[in-house]
Amino acid sequence: MIDSVCAQKMLTDGYTCVLVKGDDIYTSKKAGIAPMIEFIERDVDLKGFSVADKIVGKAVSMLFVLAGIKDVYAQTMSRSAKEFLDRHNVPNKCEKLVDRIINRKGDDICPMEKTVLDIDSPELAFTALKEKLNSMRNGMV
């Protein structure tokens, strides 16, 4: 089975993020950018993997580019994520294209999206997103 098709099928099994390359499969049920931050911090080699994710905003798309992801499928994708992936020649498709990713309360833009709003470098985005995630986990916003 083609990697991208396999990843998409597994996404319906309750996972939020599925990465597939041949027989190598990584899955996560964690929300947001957490799965990709963890994979990158653990030095998991994701070059050439296909990914299927529930929600893809610019923040996680930057992490996909940093990790060397081959192609991206999203149930929901923001326009800025699509533009970023297109600019980096990463094939992508989605079920629903939205103007922006909204926070969990539904009253503002996602804090991770705000963090990378003016960042174009995947490396700088990774550092900024890690810092933002840590400050949110420690109760500081």
Domain boundaries, the chain: 3-137
Task: Supply angle C-alpha 41, 78, 123, rounded to 5.
Answer: 30
Structure tokens at 107: 């009253």
pTM assigned to the model: 0.94
The number of C-alpha atoms within 13 Å of 134 and in the hemisphere containing its C-beta is 8
Of the chain, the end-to-end C-alpha distance in Å amounts to: 43
Q: Which residues of 79-93 are buried (b: 16+ CB within 10 A; e: fewer)?
A: ebbbebbeeeebebe
Structure tokens at 28: 């996560």
C-beta separation of 40 from 34 below 8 A: no
Question: What averages of pLDDT result for each successive group of 10 residues across the chain (141 residues)?
Answer: 89 92 95 93 96 97 98 97 98 97 91 95 96 85 58
Q: Which CATH superfamily is domain 3-137 in?
A: Hypothetical protein TM1506 (3.40.140.30)
How much is the pLDDT for 45?
96
How much is the pLDDT for 12?
85
How much is the pLDDT for 101?
95
